[in-house]
Amino acid sequence: MTACKLSVNINKIATLRNARGGTIPNVVKAAIDIERFGAEGITVHPRPDERHIRFRDVYELKECVTTEFNIEGYPSEGFLKLVESVKPHQVTLVPDSPDVLTSNAGWNAIREQAFLKNVIERLKQKCLRVSLFMDTDLKQIDAAATTGTDRIELYTERYASGYEKSAQQAIADYQKAASHASTLNMGVNAGHDLNLNNLNYFIKNIPQVIEVSIGHALISDALYFGLQNTVQMYKHQIKSARE
């Protein structure tokens, strides 16, 4: 089975740093260490209010990230200019408004088809790989495929919240969505609320998933287990699912 990459979202490290206004914890050092501990990617989500990752962090990270650099965000003019100049390996477009606490829905690619097509064409001119944050609705995935996106990132909140009650039920729509996206030649990423309990089952049962982006639970687990152990525990969950 194909491997699945772990991309660690380091927004929460920036949130902690910003709480005191200094440079502790150091976001760049954390990214370098997370890669050294085994992560295959670093994800950041700069928001217009810079309440966690700042635009300056993104430029500094670009200089030191040696694995896959993934920048997520709403494609405002400011965001597009940032990614065009930083040129990460992947740009994940998310439909969230500036004031939202965290991303809470996938794109309505049917309604936003023309907008997304334009944005993606612009990013493609800079040779950037694009992923669209999506729910599991198959009609929406059909529309995503017409925008020219390379990948979709499945929004896994609903899987995570249904997992304890019935993992099988919670994953069913995601299996259909991933295999549908695959037949439309789009790669499949996944993220949001994935954790040490629910990650292995998701990866094991959806062979199309090639990358997961995980932040909140992983950084929280690091408070108990340490960052190095935690990254390795997540990697183990992924690796054992694909053996």
Please give the residue ranges that form the binding site for ligand PXP (CB under 6 A). Answer: 9, 11, 45, 72, 92, 94, 102-103, 133, 153, 191-194, 213-217
Q: Please say if 45 is a catalytic residue.
A: yes
Q: Which two tokens stand for residue 9?
A: 């979202």
Long-range pairs, 109-112, Cβ under 8 A, ≥24: 109/134, 109/140, 109/141, 109/143, 109/144, 109/146, 109/147, 110/139, 110/140, 110/143
Q: Give the separation between CA 119 and CA 167, rounded to whole angstroms.
A: 36
Least distance from C-beta 160 to ligand PXP, angstroms? 8
Q: Which CB, 133 or 174, lies closer to ligand PXP?
A: 133
Q: Which CB, 183 or 208, lies closer to ligand PXP?
A: 208
Cross-strand bridge partners of residue 151: 131, 187
Least distance from C-beta 9 to ligand PXP, angstroms? 5
Least distance from C-beta 153 to ligand PXP, angstroms? 6
- Among candidate residues 45, 52, 68, 153, the one labeled active-site is 45
Q: Which two tokens stand for residue 90?
A: 């992947």
- Among candidate residues 35, 68, 72, 211, the one labeled active-site is 72
Residue 7 neighbours by CB under 8 Å, 6+ apart = 39, 40, 41, 42, 43, 68, 70, 211, 212, 213, 214
Q: Which CB, 22 or 44, lies closer to ligand PXP?
A: 44
Q: Please say if 52 is a catalytic residue.
A: no
Least distance from C-beta 205 to ligand PXP, angstroms? 19
Q: Which CB, 95 or 241, lies closer to ligand PXP?
A: 95
For residues 151 and 186, is the Cβ–Cβ distance under 8 A?
Answer: yes
- Active-site annotation, residues: 45, 72, 192
